[in-house]
Structure 1
Amino acid sequence: MLCAGALLPTSLIAGELTQYEAKYDILRKGSNHGKAIRTLKKIDENTYRIKYSSDIDWMIFTDVREESSTFTYKEQKIIPSHYYQKSEGTLPDEDYKLDFDFKAQKVMSNKSEYPLNCEWHDNYQDAISYQVQVREGLKKGVTNFSFPLIDKKGKCREYNFEVVGTEMISLPIGNIEAIKVKRLYDTDKRQALAWFAPEMDYMLVRMWKGKKGTEQFEVQMNSFTVTAPTATAEHTKNLQAN
C-alpha cells in the first residue's frame, strides 16, 4: 500500500491552491458501476476551475455528467463566478449554467432572462465550489460549515455540515487517515458523508450517500496526481494503486 502524503510536492507556492487530477470508482453495494474524474486547474491570476465528470452504468440506468465551477481564490475564500452542468442518459438531458455577478449582486441562469429570485449573499457557493471551501475551512480547523448555495436547479438553499471525527479508511490508493464530514439535512431520511485526507492537502478521497438508511452510492479515490503551480514535470507526482 502507498503512503499518499509522502508523494505530495513540497514546493507549492504559498497562497495558491493545489492543482490536481483525481480519479474515483463509483460503487453500489460494493460493485463498481462507474468512474469519475475531478480536476482543479489555475486558469488566471487568482482564478481557478474545478471540474467533475462521471460515467455511471447500473442495470438499465445510465448517466454521463460533467459540471464545473470557475471561481476566484483570495485569502482562503472561494468566490464563484460561473457554474456549468451537462448530463445525458436515462434521465432527461440537462444543460444548465449560472453566472454570479457580485457587483450587481445578482445570479443569472441560462434558463431565464431574469435574475434568480434569491436574496443576495456575499458567501454564495455553487453545487461544486462549496467542496473547495470546505477543504479550506478544514485546513483552518473549522468543524461546522454553513453555506448559502444555488443548487443545480437554480434554487436557493442552505448547506450545513459538521466534522464528526477522524478515521483510518481503506481505499484503492492505500490506507488513509481522513476527516469525516457529515451533511446536516432537515430530515433523517437522507444521509451524506465525505472524507478529506489532511496528508493529501485535505483532498476529497471518499463520499457516501444514502436514503432511509440504504446506500445509494459510494465514491472512492483510486488515483491522484498533483501538479505544482509551476506546472513543470519535476513537480508532478503520481499516486497509483499497486
Structure 2
Amino acid sequence: MPRKIPTLFAISLLAASGTTLADTTVLTPHTAEYQVYYGSIELGRARYILEAPQGNFFQYRFDSDVGLLMLSDKRHILSEFTLEDANQLVPMRYSVERTGTGPSFREQAAFAKGQNVVHSRYKDERAKFPYDNQLFDPLMVQLQFRLDMQAHKDELHYTMVKEGEVDDYAFKIVGKERVNIESGSYQTVKFEVVRDSKKRQTFFWMAPDLSYLPIRLTHFEKGSKQLDIKLLNYRFGPSDEKLQPTTEQALVDDKASNEEG
C-alpha cells in the first residue's frame, strides 16, 4: 500500500442532463470518478465533484476510498474558491480529513487575502505564510491548470500550500497521445511532473475535448509502476448532492486564526 494516495489528478460516459460537450468549460459543474490501482491491483475509487456555483462562490470536492488487504485509506477534501476575471481562481479555504489504517489526521488552510496571510494547520502543527495571489491549494490548482491549458499558457508552474509547507510544482508537455482504457478512447495531451531525478516519474493525460478533464495518471518509483488511476465515468451538469456547509471541524476559521495571531 503506498504511503500517500496522490490528489493532484485522478473520469467517460456522458449523461449531459441538457449540457452538451460544446457548452462545457473547466468550471461547468461536473462529477468524475476514477478507478485506482496499485501496480495491477485494484485499490478502490476516487471521485471529484465541482458543484454549481452560488454566485461567484465555488466548491470542489474529492472523496477516495481505497484499500489493500487489511490496509485502508479514506480521504475527504474540500476546496472553496472564487473566480477573478475569466481565468484566475482565488482560493479561500481548504480542508482534508484522512481516516483508515494508521493515524487519522486533518489539514486546513485559510487564505485570508484581507489580512495578507495564509493560515495553515497540518495535524497538530500550525503555520502562517505571506499571502500571494499565485498561491493555491492542492485541489483547486487542478482547475487552474485546466484553465491555463485552455488559455494556451506556456508556463506550467504552480505554488501551493500542502501539509504545512509551501511547495513548488512544474509540469511539461510530452505530446499528444491517444489513450485507450476500459471506459473509452480519448485524444489527450500527455504531461510529466518535472523532477531533478528519474527515480520518481509521474505522467498524466488530459482530454482537450472534455475541457482538459484528466483521463489517466501513472506514477513510477525506480521504473516500477506504483499507481495507475483511470477515468471510470463522468457527467457534466449539477450533481444530485447539495453544497455542503462549511463546518468549524473541517475548515480554519479566519477570525479565530486572526485573533490567535
TM-score, structure 1 as length reference: 0.83
Between 94-103 and 208-217, report the one with greater CA deviation.
208-217
What residue in structure 2 maps to residue 174 of structure 1? 184
What residue in structure 2 maps to residue 141 of structure 1? 152
What residue in structure 1 maps to residue 5 of structure 2? none
What residue in structure 2 maps to residue 63 of structure 1? 73
Between 208-217 and 161-170, report the one with greater CA deviation.
208-217
Query: How much does 1:117 deviate?
Result: 4.1
Task: String of CA shifts for 1:180-239, please: whole Å, max 9, x gaps.
Answer: 11111233322222211111121112111222222221111111111069xxxxxxxxxx
RCO comparison, higher one (Cα < 8 Å, 6+): 2
1:126 to 132, 137, 145: 137
* Bigger share in strand: 1
Q: Which amino acid aligns with 2:148?
A: G
Query: How much does 1:112 deviate?
Result: 9.3
The sequence identity of aligned pairs, in percent, is 22
Between 13-22 and 51-60, report the one with greater CA deviation.
13-22
TM-score, structure 2 as length reference: 0.78
What residue in structure 2 maps to residue 224 of structure 1? 234
Aligned positions of 1:79-118 closer than 5 A: 79-110=90-121, 116-118=127-129
Matches of 2:73 and 2:126 in 1, distance apart?
29
What residue in structure 1 maps to residue 164 of structure 2? 154
Matches of 1:141 and 1:11 in 2, distance apart?
19
Matches of 2:44 and 2:26 in 1, distance apart?
32
Task: String of CA shifts for 1:53-98, please: whole Å, max 9, x gaps.
Answer: 1111113321111112111122111111111101111231011111
Q: Which amino acid aligns with 1:56?
A: V
Alignment root-mean-square deviation, CA: 3.0
What residue in structure 2 maps to residue 20 of structure 1? 30
Any unmatched runs of 5+ in structure 2? 1-11, 240-261
Question: Helix, strand or coil: the match of 2:19?
Answer: coil
Report how many residues are paired: 228
